[in-house]
Amino acid sequence: MTLSITELLLIPALPLIAALLTGIFGWALKEKLSHLICCIGVIAAAALSVHVFLQVLDGASFHGNIWTWMISDNFIVPVGLMIDRLSAIMMVTVTIVSACVHIYTIGYMHGDPGYSRFFSYISAFTFSMLVLVMGNNFFTLFFGWEAVGLFSYLLIGFWFKRESANVAAMKAFIVNRIGDFGFAIGILAVFYYFGTIEYKAVFEAVPALVAADFSLDFMGWEVSAITFMCVALFIGAMGKSAQVPLHVWLPDSMEGPTPISALIHAATMVTAGVFMVARLSPMFEYSEFALAMVTVIGAITAWMCATIGLVQNDIKRVIAYSTCSQLGYMFVACGVSAYSVGIFHLMTHAYFKALLFLAAGSVIHAVMAEQDIRKMGQLRKYMPVTYITMLIGAIALAGVPPFAGFWSKDMIIEATMVRDMGWASEVAYWAVLSGVFMTAFYTFRMFFLTFHNSDRVDEHAKSHLHESPKVITVPLIILAVGAMLAGWWGVQALGITNAEMANNYFGSAIFVMDAHNPLITLEEHGSHGWYHFIFTAPFWLAIGGIGLAFFMYFRETTHPARIAATFPWLHSFLLDKWRWDEMNWKVLVMPARCLGNILWKKGDLGMIDGKIIHGGIVGTVLAGAAKLRNLQTGYVYHYAFAMVIGVFGLLTYLLLGS
């Protein structure tokens, strides 16, 4: 059974058309028309995605090229779609979260001078993300990859009159360029070795390439071709999905309006790396090294960003570091070959993290753009809907059953425990396990400081305190439902964690070697009753984390200050985010700027502009121009003389020459 091409094409086309309309005619549109166009476009895309998803559940799929963008010798760049169970679940997640964020934006951005522009950007972003997940080749992947990066940049710097927003936007773009460089090299390597960029053909050719044992010499190391490709591609994923050491842009991206943080920097774009690894599972499965690298990088990120989250005071930054950390969990899942669990966590995370961000946005909106949780407190009295939805999101993130986060995160930890990859999986296991405790702690620390504890809101803000309007609370409620049910639904209804790929929701969309599959081992270990979680460490660690947060922050206590005073070095180290920015500044930025300064002042201004251009070329030309001008005396006999000289010269040349 194949899907209707028209329907599939409409899904990305509707947001694109909406974006173009509001982008080009935005100056003439009223706010109402702008958001109507974009919301209708995206909601329709979401409805179509759900329809496609239901058909895909019945076994439908689509694979084919729509048109050829470019042919250059044997380099053929088609634009095509590959709709299977992996892309279908991504489409649903992306469009539903995007639709919620669109509606939310109506309330959040109301009155902003860039209202239409904002809608145009987020619709265009949705289009790009859909291209990324729906494409059937590396080109569409790259196109979507770069396009979401572009819109991320534009949206982080949306309030372009703010210096800090511009700096953050540039930082995000530049750090992503580093990742994209690896990504591009990976794609070029794929084309070099396989001669095609279509997923299907590449995947079919992988085993032969591995069997042929191609290797290349990379800076003195002997690397097998498949490992080279996978590592290069994964470097791209590290940039886009904010993995250490390329994670530094994500917390700064919180300079953008909050709906963006929810849509791009939590639910969709940053998960592109995870999606890519899962999509390319037929390649990664053949490279032990790449899998180990994915696992270790993911584990380090998961653990490190969790520690930073413990002490941050900006409500959005806490959630941002939590995002980095959770992305690490997803990569760990992919690294231990539990791709289906990784995508599962991606989906549940999309719901509860978007919820947390939007709820945080609702809070920020209410307290007059204040983001410091030390200046909040007792907000539950004023904002009951935000309070309850955020509580649901926090519980889901902390991993308490039966909320969404529990199902996926618990599976990741167990899969990591049983998968034997030597030290890599060992490290990863302890990292993700201890991460659970910290996640629960920082989430509820933020939650208690915002909604309970003592009332520290300043007088001016307090006079405006109120629950947010319906356009803001309704998306919160929708996402809260997702955060409650997505996990249970994924496991029970879709069978997303079933061990055998044949029984698994993803079926053939994800390729796992039986020898790698941790879910099979897990199944052999024993049955999974509903009460199973009581015997697992993650559950108790989560409860412990929440309990500790309750003890320290539910009421105003002196514990936090005392602990910080006892370990001042550790506290400031964490507060300064492990001093990554400072290190990058000293090791990379300063030397680059020094070099640039030298080349600019000495090389460009001194040598080229000074000596060569002004001294040499321009001087000669100007002198020549002045001389020629003097020749033009205005006397007829001079002019006639020039003609005669010309004839004489030509004749002489011709007669002497021959």
Partner 1 sequence: MANITFPFPFPVILPVLPEIIVAVMAMVILIWDLFLPAERKQWTAYAAIATCLVAIDATLRTTGADAQMAFYGQFVLDPFAGFTKLLIIGATIYGIVLSLDYMKSEKNIGEYYSLMLFSMLGMMLMVSATNFIIMYLGLELMALCLYVLVGYQRDVLRSSEAALKYFILGSLASCMLLYGISFLYGLSGSLDFAAVGQALGSLGDNSSMAVSLGLVFIIAGMAFKVSLAPFHMWTPDAYEGAPTPITAFMGVAPKVAGFAILARVVIDALPSLQADYVTIFSWLAVLSMAVGNIAAIAQRNIKRMLAYSTIGHVGFILLGLIAGGPEGYSAMLVYLAVYLFMNMGAFAIIILMRREGIQGELLDDFAGMSKVRPGYALAMGLFMFSLAGIPFLGGFWAKYAVLIAAVHAGHLYLALIGILFSAVGAFYYIRVVKYIYFDEERVAFDFSENPLMQATVAVTAIVVVAIGIFPQPLMDICRAALGGIV
Least CB distance from residue 13 to partner 1, whole Å? 26
Between 502 and 626, whose beta carbon lies closer to partner 1?
A: 626
The DSSP 8-state label assigned to residue 467 in this structure reads: P
DSSP notation for 277-341? HHHTHHHHTT-HHHHHHHHHHHHHHHHHHHHHHTT--BHHHHHHHHHHHHHHHHHHHHHTT-HHH
C-beta of 590 vs 613, nearer to partner 1 = 613
Residue closer to partner 1, measured from CB, 27 or 423:
27
Whether 122 and 105 have beta carbons less than 8 Å apart is answered as: yes
Helix (H, G, I), strand (E, B) or coil at 109: coil
Binding residue (CB under 8 A) for partner 1 from 460, 586, 593, 638:
638
DSSP summary character for residue 163 = H
Determine which helix (DSSP H) or strand (DSSP E) holds 203, and give its type and residue range: helix 199-212
**CA pair distance 597, 604, nearest whole angstrom:** 10
- Of 369 and 628, the one with the shorter C-beta distance to partner 1 is 628
Binding of partner 1 at residue 422 (CB under 8 A)? no
Strands 215-218 and 62-72: unpaired
C-alpha to C-alpha distance for 399 and 639, rounded to whole angstroms:
94
Of 529 and 657, the one with the shorter C-beta distance to partner 1 is 657
- Shortest Cβ distance from residue 628 to partner 1 (Å)? 4
Distance of CA 161 to the CA centre of its chain: 24
629 binds partner 1 (CB under 8 A): yes
Q: Rounded to the nearest whole angstrom, what is the least distance from the CB of residue 626 to partner 1 in the complex? A: 6
Question: What's the closest the beta carbon of residue 71 comes to partner 1, in angstroms?
Answer: 19
20 membership: H or E segment, kind and range: helix 5-25
Q: Between 113 and 624, name the residue whose CB sits nearer to partner 1.
A: 624
Task: Determine, following the binding rule CB under 8 A, whether residue 1 of this chain makes contact with partner 1.
Answer: no
Q: How far is the CB of 651 from partner 1 (least distance, A)?
A: 5
* Smallest gap from residue 512 Cβ to partner 1 (A): 50
217-224: long-range pairs with CB below 8 Å, 24+: 224/287
Residue 27 touches partner 1, criterion: CB under 8 A: no
Stretch of residues binding partner 1 (CB under 8 A), selected from 17-25, 247-255, 270-278, 638-646: 638-646
Nearer to partner 1, 219 or 643 (CB): 643
DSSP H helices, 452-579, are 459-462, 470-488, 518-524, 537-553, 559-566, 568-575
* Burial per residue of 454-489, b for 16 or more beta-carbon CB atoms within 10 angstroms, e otherwise: eeebeeeeeeeeeebeebbbebbbbbbebbbbbbbb
- Binding partner 1 by CB under 8 A: which of 219, 369, 502, 655? 655
Residue pair 253/320 in contact by the 8 Å Cβ criterion: yes
Which residue do the tokens 């998306």 mark?
475
Candidates 2-10, 317-325, 352-360, 633-641 — which segment interacts with partner 1 by CB under 8 A? 633-641
Closer CB to partner 1, 219 or 628, in the complex: 628
Cβ closer to partner 1: 589 or 651? 651
Interface stretch with partner 1, choices 123-131, 488-496, 589-597, 648-656 (CB under 8 A): 648-656
**Residue for token digits 């993700």?**
432
Query: Is the CB of 585 or the CB of 648 nearer to partner 1?
Result: 648
Among 493, 534, 613, 645, binds partner 1 (CB under 8 A): 645
How many chain residues interact with partner 1 (CB under 8 A)? 26
Q: Provide DSSP, 354-410.
A: HHHHHHHHHHHHHTTT--BGGG---GGGT-HHHHHHHHHHHHHHHT-TTSHHHHHHH
Which positions from 598 through 627 interact with partner 1, judged by CB under 8 A? 621-622, 624-626
Give the range of 105-113, 194-202, 475-483, 634-642 binding partner 1 by CB under 8 A.
634-642
Asked whether position 515 contacts partner 1 by CB under 8 A, the answer is: no
Residues that bind partner 1 (CB under 8 A): 621-622, 624-626, 628-629, 632, 634, 636, 638-640, 642-643, 645-647, 649-651, 653-655, 657-658
